[in-house]
């Protein structure tokens, strides 16, 4: 079996968002207050992500960051947050710092898994709202990377990206996401969410930051495709899993 096979996932009974609602005694059409929203998020993490994290550990997809790597990433994240604070103001600054650090650790961890950590881009984008391409596009891979910290879920971009260069330059598309969990210096790379999976296993009620409608919570960890064994296979799979918009 190779990583393109749909069977290349954890064999579990499918878990729907309605199942998670029932666990906190809610219905899909009911409104959620802040406490209920975060209860749902934690339930999604426990039911959907913890089993996949155990699977990732068995497969050897857990990366440990060294003290020097953590120092490097924390410095980058601090500079990134400071730049965003200047651009957007200090609203939600603490949460922004956590998101920036989690994202940077996970991207670095993914690159380290494939031996490409030296390709980590630590340049600071002056106008972040102009960034209209997925995280790995500059390395030739049309894929975004999304992670969460424990007791949370990854937030997925709902809008499309623009192809930066090449044959299809300027065209808009949606792409796969490499999904994971960051627990301090431990990076759990859980697998790849295809564009189809990203369209099915998401819920606005899994977004703790309701002020950002461009992001939506993802819970489909059991439907992730296993990690390709090489950088070349990762590139091939992700670049063939884009959808024009």
pLDDT per position as a tens digit, 115-153: 999 999 888 776 555 567 888 998 999 999 999 999 999
Task: Copy the structure tokens of residue 113.
Answer: 């898994």
For residue 90, with 0-12 CB atoms within 10 Å meaning exposed, 13-18 middle and 19 or more buried, which class applies?
exposed
Residue 233 DSSP SS3: helix
CB 48 within 8 Å of CB 221 = yes
Cβ count near 214 (within 10 Å): 10
Rounded (10°) angle between helices 93-113 and 67-88: 140
Say which range, 31-35, 50-54, 74-78, has the weakest mean pLDDT: 31-35
pLDDT band at 35 (very low <50, low <70, confident <90, very high): confident
- Percentage of residues in the chain having pLDDT higher than 90: 54
Strand partners of residue 146: 179
Task: Copy the structure tokens of residue 53.
Answer: 């994290």
Query: How do the domains of the chain map onto residue ranges?
Result: 17-244
Q: Phi first, then psi: give them for residue 82, nearest 5 degrees.
A: -60, -40
pLDDT band at 96 (very low <50, low <70, confident <90, very high): confident
pLDDT per residue over 199-221, tens digit each?
999 988 898 765 566 789 999 99
Q: What is the DSSP string of 178-201?
A: EEEEEETTEEEEEEEE-HHHHHHS
- Percentage of residues in the chain having pLDDT higher than 70: 84
pTM for the full predicted model = 0.87
pLDDT at 201: 93
CB 146 within 8 Å of CB 105 = no
pLDDT per residue over 174-188, tens digit each?
999 999 999 999 999
Whole-angstrom CA distances from 234 to 3, 55, 142 are 10, 19, 10
**Beta strand pairing call for 155-157 and 215-218:** antiparallel
């Amino acid at each position: 079996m190779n990583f393109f096979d749909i069977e290349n996932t954890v064999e579990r009974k499918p878990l729907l968002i309605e199942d998670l609602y029932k666990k906190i005694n809610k219905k899909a059409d009911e409104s959620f207050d802040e406490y209920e929203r975060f209860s749902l998020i934690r339930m999604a993490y426990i039911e959907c992500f913890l089993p996949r994290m155990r699977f990732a550990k068995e497969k050897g997809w857990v990366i440990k960051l060294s003290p020097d790597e953590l120092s490097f990433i924390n410095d980058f994240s601090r500079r990134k947050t400071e730049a965003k604070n200047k651009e957007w103001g200090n609203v939600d600054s603490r949460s922004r710092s956590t998101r920036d650090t989690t994202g940077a650790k996970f991207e670095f961890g993914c690159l380290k898994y494939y031996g490409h950590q030296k390709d980590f881009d630590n340049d600071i984008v002056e106008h972040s709202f102009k960034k209209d391409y997925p995280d790995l596009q500059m390395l030739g891979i049309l894929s975004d990377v999304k992670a969460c910290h424990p007791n949370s879920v990854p937030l997925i971009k709902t809008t499309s990206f623009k192809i930066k260069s090449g044959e299809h330059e300027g065209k808009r598309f949606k792409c796969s996401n490499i999904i994971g969990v960051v627990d301090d210096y431990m990076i759990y790379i859980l697998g790849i969410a295809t564009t189809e999976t990203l369209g099915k296993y998401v819920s606005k009620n899994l977004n703790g930051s309701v002020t950002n409608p461009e992001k939506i919570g993802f819970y489909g960890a059991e439907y992730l495709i296993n990690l390709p064994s090489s950088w070349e296979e990762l590139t091939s799979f992700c670049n063939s899993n884009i959808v024009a918009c």
